[in-house]
């Protein structure tokens, strides 16, 4: 953990050189330009405000949005208003008075905060910058953010985030200190301080407007196009095996190790930990609300899943078979639907998916990841096998090992007193035959993106595809609006993907009643039925669509041509 904190601190320092930080640097530099008598504390205030804000919002933004219902963009817009407000105060003296009155109550909580140019003003600027600061994070902070999304904040993640923000604050403080030193050493600058403040006030306002209209992201793209090697290697030091090992220790702590039975043939008494209770709050399907306490004496399987996940879908035949085979013997399967994408939180969508997949056992929505967090879960799908005494006897993450899992069910039922439990096991076999990993298409998690323009976040932009795609690379062509979770191609847009698999699936939804996508493999229209009929996939619901089914796996080029502006595509999975 000490090593990880050191690397987090170093990662924070080099973040200042990342291309996506450049547009915010004018705010930092402008923060050093103030009256030299009252503004000496401002850099300290900016640094303290930034550290507090960045740490707080990194760890708790998703929780704030969930509990308050206030969109993250609204909070971001508030910070932009604060930044622009300070710019106006530098430009117009009368606005300074208004700003003073607005923040007068805030000042009463801060010692020695005599004017807006001191510690108080710096804190407000730093707090706003902390929310706007969206660095090109490497594996270390990305690991922390992935935990924060589900509300899993530990002392380890807190310390990592603090170390990262402290590292980032050092060069920030040096920039502001350097600005003040230059001001003091040049008398002609001091004599023209009023004019300089107005100039920097304009810069501050323009920066706020630029962030609001996403010009900062366009500027980032321009830098990367003009200087393709800029920033290359900044975070490579984070991507070594030692750091990855440390991150696994922080990010993956399931209650029981993968595929480790805690029972054996000689002693079937469970030795596992007590199973956390199902957290109330979500809608129930196929059953009234259940608790593990009332199910004592029965064998329970808690299955974490989400309906657009192909890995989850491939487990359904086994779950259906086990439910049918053992429900009268004392087995209760409870599906806990923990959504990966926003549209999977919709109760009607979940109900339709349950109907489509013919799932008849009890299922509860876990939109807030409350039960997920209680189990310290990290996977889709994940199964927790609970014995008659309410203790976890066995866990399994991902697909496979169905015969082993069924043996555990049989042993636990016998332990619970069930009679006439068959020892026959005849599970169907399904082999996943792919060399291409899951590929996300929103900018939040996309990898292997090959369009030379880079991603323009949250805005409509034109892309082009390279002449040749490397293995497992994806490229956009034409006009696309790329959001954090998904990409929205416009009519005539094209997606190309170099993949090696037998089957290809894509999570999609439509903004209108229907949307159509034309499917090609190696420049030939692909038609095999199911979702792909005559080479066209018609999007009608928010779900996973089967695009390709080949006779065998192999390396191919997939091309999707979008027939309208209405498709929203989330992630490829393979089988």
Give per-residue pLDDT as tens, 200-238.
778 778 877 876 776 765 565 465 455 545 554 555 555
284-415 sits in which CATH class? alpha beta
Let me know if the fold of 284-415 is the same as that of 439-574.
no
The kind and range of the H/E element at 384 are strand 382-386
pLDDT exceeding 90 applies to what percent of the chain?
A: 23
Q: Tell me what pLDDT residue 519 has.
A: 93
Task: Encode pLDDT of 410-464 as tens digits.
Answer: 999 998 888 887 778 777 666 667 888 888 899 887 888 999 988 988 889 999 9
Instruction: Give the residue with greater pLDDT, 239 vs 386.
Output: 386
Please list, residue by residue across 131-150, b when 16 or more beta carbons sit within 10 angstroms of its beta carbon and e when fewer do.
bbbebbbbbbbbbbbebbeb
* Secondary structure in 3-state letters for 135-154: CCCCHHHHHHHHHHHCCCCC
Task: Encode pLDDT of 135-169 as tens digits.
Answer: 444 545 555 554 555 555 667 777 777 887 788 78
Provide the token pair at 332.
Answer: 């209760």
CATH number attached to the domain at 439-574:
2.60.120.260
CA distance 471 to 494: 18
Angle of the 119-132 helix axis to the 72-91 helix axis, nearest 10: 140
pLDDT at 260 over 50: no
Identify whether the C-beta of residue 516 lies closer than 8 Å to the C-beta of residue 563. Answer: yes
Q: How far is CA 196 from the centre of its chain?
A: 42
pLDDT at 535 over 80: yes
Domain boundaries, the chain: 2-239, 284-415, 439-574
Mean pLDDT of the chain: 76
Per-residue pLDDT, averaged over 363-391, amounts to 88
Q: Tell me what pLDDT residue 337 has.
A: 95
């Amino acid at each position: 953990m000490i090593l990880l904190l050191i690397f987090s601190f170093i990662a924070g320092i080099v973040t200042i050189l990342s291309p996506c930080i450049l547009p915010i640097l004018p705010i930092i530099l402008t923060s050093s330009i103030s009256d030299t008598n009252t503004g000496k504390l401002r850099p300290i205030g900016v640094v303290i405000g930034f550290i507090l804000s960045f740490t707080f919002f990194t760890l708790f933004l998703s929780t704030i949005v969930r509990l308050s219902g206030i969109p993250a963009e609204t909070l971001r817009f508030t910070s932009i208003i604060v930044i622009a407000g300070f710019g106006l105060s530098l430009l117009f003296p009368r606005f300074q008075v208004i700003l003073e009155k607005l923040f007068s109550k805030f000042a009463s909580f801060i010692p020695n905060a005599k004017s807006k140019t001191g510690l108080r003003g710096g804190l407000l600027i730093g707090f706003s910058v902390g929310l706007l600061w969206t660095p090109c994070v490497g594996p270390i902070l990305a690991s922390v953010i992935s935990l924060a999304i589900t509300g899993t904040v530990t002392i380890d993640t807190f310390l990592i985030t603090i170390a990262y923000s402290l590292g980032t604050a050092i060069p920030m403080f040096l920039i502001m200190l350097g600005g003040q030193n230059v001001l003091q050493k040049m008398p002609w600058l001091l004599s023209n301080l009023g004019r300089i403040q107005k100039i920097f006030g304009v810069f501050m306002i323009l920066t706020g407007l630029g962030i609001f209209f996403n010009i900062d992201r366009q500027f980032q793209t321009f830098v990367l196009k003009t200087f393709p090697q800029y920033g290359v290697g900044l975070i490579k030091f984070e991507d070594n095996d030692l750091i990855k090992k440390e991150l696994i220790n922080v990010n993956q702590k399931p209650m029981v190790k993968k595929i480790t039975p805690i029972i054996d043939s000689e002693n079937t008494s469970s030795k596992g930990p007590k199973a956390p209770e199902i957290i109330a709050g979500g809608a129930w399907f196929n059953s009234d609300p259940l608790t593990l306490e009332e199910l004592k004496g029965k064998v329970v399987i808690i299955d974490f899943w989400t309906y657009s996940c192909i890995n989850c879908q491939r487990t359904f035949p086994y779950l259906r078979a086990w439910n049918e085979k053992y429900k009268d013997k004392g087995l209760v399967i409870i599906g806990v639907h923990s959504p990966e994408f926003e549209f999977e939180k919709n109760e009607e969508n979940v109900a339709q998916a349950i109907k489509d997949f013919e799932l008849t056992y009890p299922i509860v929505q876990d939109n807030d990841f409350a039960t997920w967090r209680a189990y310290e879960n990290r996977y889709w799908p994940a199964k927790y096998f609970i014995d008659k005494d309410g203790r976890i006897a066995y866990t399994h993450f991902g697909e496979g090992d169905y015969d082993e899992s069924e043996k555990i069910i049989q042993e636990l039922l016998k332990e619970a007193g069930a009679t006439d439990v068959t020892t026959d096991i005849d599970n169907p076999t399904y082999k996943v035959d792919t060399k291409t990993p899951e590929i996300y298409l929103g900018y939040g998690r996309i990898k292997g993106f090959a369009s030379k323009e880079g991603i323009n976040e949250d805005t409509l932009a034109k892309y082009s595809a390279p002449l040749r795609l490397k293995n497992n690379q994806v490229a956009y062509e034409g006009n696309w609006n790329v959001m954090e979770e998904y990409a929205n191609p416009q009519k005539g847009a094209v997606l190309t993907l170099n993949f090696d698999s037998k089957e290809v699936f894509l999570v999609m939804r439509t903004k209108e009643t229907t949307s159509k996508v034309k499917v090609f493999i190696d420049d030939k229209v692909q038609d095999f039925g199911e979702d792909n009929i005559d080479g066209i996939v018609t999007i009608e619901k928010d779900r996973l669509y089967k695009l390709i089914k080949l006779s065998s796996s192999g390396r191919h080029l997939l091309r999707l041509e979008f027939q309208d502006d209405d498709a929203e595509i989330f992630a490829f999975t393979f089988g």
